[in-house]
Amino acid sequence: MSTTTHSEAARGAKQVIQLEDATVRLAGDSGDGMQLAGMQLTNTSALAGNDIATFPDFPAEIRAPRGTLAGVSGFQLHFASADIYTPGDRLNALVAMNPAALKTNLDDLEPNGILIVNEDAFDTKSLKLAHYENNPLESEGLGDRFRLIRVKMTKLTRDAVSELGLSVKESDRCRNFFAMGLLYWLYGRSMEPTLRFIDAKFGKMPDVAEANRRALKAGYHYGETTEAFVYTYTVDRAKLPRGTYNNVTGNQVLAWGLITAAKMSGKDLFLGSYPITPASDILHELSRYKHFGVRTFQAEDEIAAVCSAIGAAFGGSMAITTSSGPGICLKSEGMGLAMILELPMLVIDIQRGGPSTGLPTKTEQADLLQVMYGRNGESPLPVIAARSPADCFEVAQEAWRIATRFMVPVILLSDGYIANGSEPWRIPDVSELNKIAIEHPVGREGENGEPFLPYKRNERLSRPWALPGTPGLMHRIGGLEKQDVTGNVSYDPENHQHMVNVRAQKVANIAEDIPPQAVAGPENGDLLVLSWGGTYGACTAATQRCRAEGLSVAHAHLRYLNPFPRNLEKILRSYKTVLIPELNMGQLRSMIRSKYLVDAKGLNKVQGKPFSVVEVMEKIRELAA
């Protein structure tokens, strides 16, 4: 990893080691501001030109009892001068703000890794809360196994802000900025972006702003003066493709993708949503963009959220509902209605650990079968999935393109890992964005005794999107089975068979309208890794490394889960073995097995955590050897 060393006067004459990448985790109590610190470190690294990938991990409780193991909140950042795909398997450095954070995170730290602890927090009470009998800083030989740096962070922070007359509690709240300052020094980062952030965020509270500034600088200067560190580190700019970049989280850029889709299709965006982790940030983000014609409706429940969106779709809006697994359960009946009405809209599922309330703040990919089959009757819907935070931007537009071209609700899957994780996103040139063409039938004078035919289909089998307010096109739609073409209620057995076939064929036709599946690696060989959704990074890194080891392994990552790309079967049959790693118990695997009769193998895990690259590599080695 380390290549060259050189010295740098500005950093306290320590030796500077140049790294290709570094993985750092900040862990503390949920009230310690670790997420904020992590986001700042991320932003700063992104602005320094690194490629980045993050993994925020926090408890479901807003403030779990202080100091407990359950209350630990962590933020992991992987920054690099090369292309990276995951937030990193092993930590090079861990900052533990209290004993509980040490206990729950230490296992992930690499041998001889940097371990920075706030030793002031290792008092009897906190040790007890973390179920430590003895102080691990004294007894566990930590100093032998890791590069242990004990910092009196509480005291040093209080000293730094003492002139400002803040209460002890307020002073202690600045400790995360002290920790940040120390990391900035350690990795040669500029404090400027965070100082700007402090101005913007705390501008209205000058005391707090000043305290955070001082704590940040105190942390930085502590690094310069302490003897505890032998080296400092630097990670060069990554060779990302040319362009201007923004550091984005999945939910944020998903919202931007939706706004873009609305703009590019000449539609006003309507969001009907009910707050739920981890989807709420999309509601928050969209509600800030009213000047784009965005209307957000915080409904009384999940059902009203989907139903209001269907109402808006009938009225001609770009209608969306966002939720997570438990909310999707409640929306199922509404989704079935939207399906039989054949109205375009988006249902966005930011998956989390289930079943039931499950693990609200943890990631999982276990809603695939629910969105595929979780409705009464024959009710196929298109499903597409984002693979990374930045990918959400394109997927949002693609979902809306399909919805309007085929007059069908489209399900977009993301997950907690993608939603809260961040990575650099190359800002597209607005002139390069694709228009999404939508046609509405025009009105007619009088009716000539001819009723309008709301279910008369085009060559794709999609029906006209006639909007209320258009003269001469009055029609009624509903959840009862309808006659094709006229849309009149029909209980005719042959017609029902016909309509079920037509609606299924329409969804199947989407395969002709999407790009063929791409494969990385050999066109045929020993092993194909087939993945979807948020496992993209781990599977990409794992297959690349295994190929470098000489294994015959290819990788196909699916964006389109229903319908599958038309060349998928051929791809599946080009390898001796197919491996499907999923953060569920084998949902895509059972779809692939039943559709193609391919004996795909699984790598399955439901622990609320993404795959590590090594986990996937081990399975590949086992199957491809």
Residue span binding other proteins (CB under 8 A) among the ranges 75-83, 174-182, 334-342, 557-565: 334-342
Euclidean distance between CA atoms 369 and 562, whole angstroms: 11
* Tokens describing residue 148: 């242990």
Q: Which of 65, 165, 266, 428 binds other proteins (CB under 8 A)?
A: 428
Helices (H), 58-174: 99-105, 124-129, 136-139, 142-145, 153-161, 168-172
Beta-strand ranges (E) seen in 84-128 are 91-96, 109-118
Question: What track of x and - describes contact with other proteins for positions 44 through 83 (by CB under 8 A)?
Answer: --xx-x----------------------------------
Tell me which residues in 105-144 interact with other proteins (CB under 8 A).
none
Judged by beta carbon, residue 237 or residue 595, the one nearer other proteins is: 237
**Cα–Cα separations (whole angstroms), residue 296 to 71, 258, 271, 302, 399:** 33, 13, 5, 14, 19
Tell me which residues in 257-286 interact with other proteins (CB under 8 A).
259-260, 263, 268, 270, 272
* Tokens describing residue 463: 């029906």
Give the nearest distance from C-beta 501 to other proteins in angstroms: 23
Q: Which of 136, 181, 326, 334 binds other proteins (CB under 8 A)?
A: 334
Judged by beta carbon, residue 8 or residue 300, the one nearer other proteins is: 300
Judged by beta carbon, residue 266 or residue 315, the one nearer other proteins is: 315
Residue 341 engages other proteins in binding (rule: CB under 8 A):
yes
Helices (H), 269-427: 280-287, 302-314, 325-341, 368-373, 391-406, 416-420
Judged by beta carbon, residue 58 or residue 452, the one nearer other proteins is: 452
Question: What track of x and - describes contact with other proteins for positions 231 through 260 (by CB under 8 A)?
Answer: ------x--xxxxxxxx--------x--xx
Q: Which of 30, 35, 43, 251 binds other proteins (CB under 8 A)?
A: 43
Euclidean distance between CA atoms 485 and 504, whole angstroms: 16
Residue span binding other proteins (CB under 8 A) among the ranges 206-214, 329-337, 377-385, 595-603: 329-337
Judged by beta carbon, residue 244 or residue 448, the one nearer other proteins is: 244
Judged by beta carbon, residue 125 or residue 237, the one nearer other proteins is: 237
Judged by beta carbon, residue 246 or residue 552, the one nearer other proteins is: 246
Give the nearest distance from C-beta 433 to other proteins in angstroms: 7
Judged by beta carbon, residue 89 or residue 398, the one nearer other proteins is: 398
Tell me which residues in 363-402 interact with other proteins (CB under 8 A).
none
Judged by beta carbon, residue 206 or residue 315, the one nearer other proteins is: 315
**Cα–Cα separations (whole angstroms), residue 421 to 43, 92, 200, 623:** 12, 19, 23, 30
Residue 433 engages other proteins in binding (rule: CB under 8 A):
yes
The total number of residues written for the chain in this structure: 625
Give the nearest distance from C-beta 505 to other proteins in angstroms: 25
Judged by beta carbon, residue 320 or residue 418, the one nearer other proteins is: 320
* Tokens describing residue 381: 């819907």
Give the nearest distance from C-beta 245 to other proteins in angstroms: 6
Judged by beta carbon, residue 231 or residue 289, the one nearer other proteins is: 289
SS3 581: strand
Question: What track of x and - describes contact with other proteins for positions 290 through 319 (by CB under 8 A)?
Answer: xxxxxx-x-xxx-xxx-xxxxxx-xxxx-x
Binding-residue total with other proteins (CB under 8 A): 72
Single-letter amino acid, residue 549: E
Kindly give the pairing relationship between strand 575-582 and strand 601-604: parallel
Cβ contact 273:318 at 8 Å: no
| Main-chain dihedrals φ then ψ at residue 80, nearest 5 degrees | -155, 160
Give the nearest distance from C-beta 584 to other proteins in angstroms: 29
**Cα–Cα separations (whole angstroms), residue 609 to 99, 131, 583:** 22, 24, 8
Cβ contact 526:336 at 8 Å: no
Strand order in the sheet with 231-235: 5-7, 15-19, 231-235
Give the nearest distance from C-beta 35 to other proteins in angstroms: 16
Give the nearest distance from C-beta 548 to other proteins in angstroms: 25
Residue 289 engages other proteins in binding (rule: CB under 8 A):
yes
**Cα–Cα separations (whole angstroms), residue 147 to 47, 139, 231:** 28, 15, 11
Judged by beta carbon, residue 170 or residue 268, the one nearer other proteins is: 268
Tell me which residues in 519-548 interact with other proteins (CB under 8 A).
none
Euclidean distance between CA atoms 520 and 534, whole angstroms: 17
Euclidean distance between CA atoms 583 and 603, whole angstroms: 8
Judged by beta carbon, residue 314 or residue 406, the one nearer other proteins is: 314
**Cα–Cα separations (whole angstroms), residue 391 to 255, 384, 385, 426, 557:** 12, 12, 9, 11, 12
Nearest alpha-carbon partner for 417 in 24, 53, 38: 53
Angle at 410 between CA 407 and CA 415, to 5 degrees: 170
Tell me which residues in 438-467 interact with other proteins (CB under 8 A).
443, 451
Judged by beta carbon, residue 258 or residue 583, the one nearer other proteins is: 258
Judged by beta carbon, residue 97 or residue 259, the one nearer other proteins is: 259
Give the nearest distance from C-beta 317 to other proteins in angstroms: 4
Cβ contact 350:419 at 8 Å: yes
Residue 201 engages other proteins in binding (rule: CB under 8 A):
no
Nearest alpha-carbon partner for 207 in 163, 168, 251, 256: 163
Give the nearest distance from C-beta 213 to other proteins in angstroms: 18
Cβ contact 187:233 at 8 Å: yes
Nearest alpha-carbon partner for 87 in 183, 177, 21, 181: 21
Euclidean distance between CA atoms 74 and 101, whole angstroms: 8
Residue span binding other proteins (CB under 8 A) among the ranges 106-114, 142-150, 332-340, 521-529: 332-340
Give the nearest distance from C-beta 361 to other proteins in angstroms: 24
Question: What track of x and - describes contact with other proteins for positions 155 through 194 (by CB under 8 A)?
Answer: --------------------------------------x-
Tell me which residues in 473-512 interact with other proteins (CB under 8 A).
473-480, 488-489
Residue span binding other proteins (CB under 8 A) among the ranges 39-47, 141-149, 358-366, 547-555: 39-47
**Cα–Cα separations (whole angstroms), residue 160 to 153, 183, 221, 472:** 10, 17, 11, 74
3-state SS, one letter per residue, for 500-511: HHHHHHHHHHHH
Judged by beta carbon, residue 229 or residue 245, the one nearer other proteins is: 245
Euclidean distance between CA atoms 529 and 506, whole angstroms: 29
